[in-house]
């Protein structure tokens, strides 16, 4: 709360905070608002800690002269309230700043409101990530899902395994150093945003193999290796030794209680082609069901990560393939085909879910597609009240195949704002015309 007021002062008045109280903001007759008092109610306000799934983001804002009051249980609510307050302040034609008398009691509908960025298909310079965190705060998003590595490149500089980025990044300048990572985490924290990293395995790992020999499965054509590689090799002890050490590092570098472990789109062809893998399948009694091998692998990774006291988020395939999950696993539903049905299944099995399927913002199309994102009603799936409580939120995803710093901001905003409102506001806030009016206004504000 030292940084936030300065930040918001500049957003509202267009000039930096001056310690001396003066009257630089245009004088006008009428009741004056001299001060906004911010009160945190909890004895543990949370200013030194990290936001988490259970954090309170509620706030109460009373705007009346001469002193307005912003009350929140925790600092995270104060940040949300400051954003709202800054949106209420407007400038008249003469340069005076005005705010209407208001009484606001606000809190988010869903606790997990995230944005996914992909820094593997295209490297995103630090600045663009930080600018995006600012935009997220303007829209009350509170989770940055960092899909940091994938097939195409490995920009994460690991301390234990420096070869991963040495060999796997696009180039030496296309990496995130430990200092970069710390900067992102702290920048996010100051805005009440959690950073959940995703290290997606066993598929989507081609770039890992460049710097870690024998990690990936060699593919075969008949009796001969083809020279190409597939998913992580699930039959070698060395794989699990590597993962144990690697996730130990990840667990300490990223302070959030959750790590995203991926588990999506595992192509079985390479496993099938490998004679040693086939041998292993036989020994384990898996028959020809490679999803059993996938489960075998994932199970062991989940256990490794659990041992570091982290919770995990996984893509829906991990649930669909009947892997044994800990009760507090979060399942991310992303497949577009009948996602409501998937939400029912996941929550019926007692797992928490987050929804991404209707919010793949990388799927651009001509026209006002923000409307279809806004129209999504996350709880529109068959299920009991208890089940619906297990849907803790959702994420707007901006996959990186066609996105980098040249087009990230215009492609993500203000379209993602529609998702932001859907996840924060009450279920009955659905009027498209009203939303259009407010969103165009908000867009002009974000430009400023």
Residue among 406, 426, 440, 441 that touches other proteins (CB under 8 A): 406
Tell me: does residue 410 bind other proteins (CB under 8 A).
yes
Residue among 23, 227, 447, 448 that touches other proteins (CB under 8 A): 447
| 310 or 442: CB nearest other proteins | 442
| 77 or 155: CB nearest other proteins | 155
Rounded alpha-carbon distances, angstroms, from residue 339 to 10, 244, 346: 42, 33, 10
Residue among 2, 48, 173, 224 that touches other proteins (CB under 8 A): 173
Residue among 19, 171, 237, 428 that touches other proteins (CB under 8 A): 171
Residue among 402, 434, 437, 440 that touches other proteins (CB under 8 A): 402
The nearest distance, CB 446 to other proteins, in angstroms, is 10
Task: Give one DSSP letter per residue of 366-409, joined into a string.
Answer: SS-THHHHHH--TT-SS--HHHHHTEEEEEEEE-STT-STTTHH
Contact segment (CB under 8 A) with other proteins among 204-212, 232-240, 260-268, 406-414 equals 406-414
Tell me: does residue 448 bind other proteins (CB under 8 A).
no
Asked whether 315 and 263 are in contact (CB, 8 A), the reply is yes
The nearest distance, CB 447 to other proteins, in angstroms, is 7
| 264 or 362: CB nearest other proteins | 362
| Omega cis (within 30) before 202 | yes
State the binding string over 339-378 for other proteins (x if CB under 8 A, else -): -----------------------xxxxxxx----------
Tell me, rounded to whole angstroms, the distance of Cα 260 from its chain centroid.
Answer: 10
Backbone angles phi, psi at 75, to 5 degrees: -60, -30
Sign (positive or negative) of CA dihedral 71, 390, 260, 371: negative
State the binding string over 4-43 for other proteins (x if CB under 8 A, else -): ----------------------------------------
CB atoms < 10 A from the CB of 224, how many? 8
Sign (positive or negative) of CA dihedral 444, 436, 140, 338: negative
The site that binds other proteins (CB under 8 A) totals a number of residues, namely 31
Task: Give one DSSP letter per residue of 56-76, joined into a string.
Answer: ---EEEEE-SSEEEEEESSHH
Contact segment (CB under 8 A) with other proteins among 5-13, 115-123, 373-381, 385-393 equals 115-123
Residue among 174, 248, 371, 388 that touches other proteins (CB under 8 A): 174
Tell me: does residue 121 bind other proteins (CB under 8 A).
yes
Contact segment (CB under 8 A) with other proteins among 95-103, 344-352, 395-403, 429-437 equals 395-403
Q: Token digits for 274?
A: 């490998």
Rg (the chain; Cα; Å): 24
Burial of 40 (0-12, 13-18, 19+ CB in 10 A): buried
As a whole number of angstroms, the distance between CA 311 and CA 299 comes to 14
Tell me: does residue 128 bind other proteins (CB under 8 A).
yes
Q: Is 385 a catalytic residue?
A: no
131-160 residues near other proteins, rule: CB under 8 A = 152-153
As a whole number of angstroms, the distance between CA 113 and CA 416 comes to 11
The nearest distance, CB 416 to other proteins, in angstroms, is 15
Catalytic: which of 35, 44, 186, 265? Answer: 265
196-235 residues near other proteins, rule: CB under 8 A = none
| 159 or 368: CB nearest other proteins | 368
The nearest distance, CB 155 to other proteins, in angstroms, is 10
329-359 burial, b at 16+ Cβ within 10 Å, e below that, comes to bbbbbbeeeebbebbbbbbeeebbbbbbbbb
Strand stretches in 122-185, DSSP E: 143-147
First-to-last C-alpha distance (Å) of the chain: 23
Which positions touch other proteins (CB under 8 A)? 121-123, 125, 127-128, 152-153, 170-171, 173-174, 362-368, 400-407, 409-411, 447
Catalytic residues: 265
């Amino acid at each position: 709360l030292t940084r936030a007021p300065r930040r918001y002062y500049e957003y509202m008045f267009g000039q930096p905070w001056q310690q001396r109280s003066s009257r630089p903001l245009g004088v006008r007759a009428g009741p004056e608002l001299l001060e906004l008092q911010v009160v945190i109610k909890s004895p543990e306000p949370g200013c030194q800690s990290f936001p988490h799934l259970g954090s309170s983001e509620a706030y109460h804002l009373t705007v009346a002269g001469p002193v307005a009051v912003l009350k929140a249980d925790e600092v995270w609510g104060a940040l949300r309230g400051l954003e709202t307050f800054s949106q209420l302040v407007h400038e008249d034609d003469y340069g005076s700043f005005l705010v209407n008398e208001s009484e606001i009691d606000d809190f988010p509908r869903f606790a997990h409101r995230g944005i996914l960025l992909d820094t593997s298909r295209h490297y995103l310079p630090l600045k663009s990530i930080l600018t995006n965190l600012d935009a997220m705060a303007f829209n009350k998003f509170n989770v940055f899902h960092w899909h940091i590595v994938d097939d195409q490149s490995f920009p994460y500089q690991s301390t234990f395994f420096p070869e991963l980025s040495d060999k796997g990044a696009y180039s030496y300048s296309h990496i995130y150093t430990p200092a970069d990572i710390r900067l992102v985490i702290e920048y996010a924290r100051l805005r009440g945003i959690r950073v959940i990293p995703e290290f997606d395995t066993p598929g989507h790992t081609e770039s890992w193999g460049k710097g870690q020999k024998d990690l990936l499965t060699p593919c075969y054509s008949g009796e001969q290796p083809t020279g190409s590689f597939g998913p992580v090799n699930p039959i070698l002890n060395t794989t699990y030794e590597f993962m144990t050490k690697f996730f130990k590092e990840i667990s300490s570098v990223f302070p959030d209680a959750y790590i995203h472990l991926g588990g999506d789109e595992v192509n079985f062809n390479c496993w099938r082609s490998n004679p040693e893998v086939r041998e292993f399948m036989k020994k384990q009694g898996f028959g020809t069901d490679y999803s059993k091998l996938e489960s075998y692998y994932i199970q062991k990774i989940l256990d490794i990560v659990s041992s570091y006291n982290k919770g995990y988020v996984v893509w829906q395939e991990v649930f669909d393939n009947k892997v044994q999950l800990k009760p507090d696993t979060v399942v991310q539903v992303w497949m577009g085909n009948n996602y409501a049905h998937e939400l029912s299944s996941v929550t019926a099995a007692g797992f928490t879910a987050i929804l991404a399927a209707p919010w793949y913002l990388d799927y651009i199309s001509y026209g006002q597609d923000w409307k279809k994102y806004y129209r999504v009603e996350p709880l529109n799936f068959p299920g009991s009240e208890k089940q619906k409580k297990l849907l803790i939120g959702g994420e707007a995803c901006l996959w990186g195949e066609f996105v980098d710093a040249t087009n990230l901001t215009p492609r993500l905003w203000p379209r993602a704002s529609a998702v932001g409102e859907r996840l924060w506001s009450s279920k009955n806030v659905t009027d498209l015309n009203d939303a259009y009016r407010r969103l165009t206004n908000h867009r002009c504000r974000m430009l400023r």
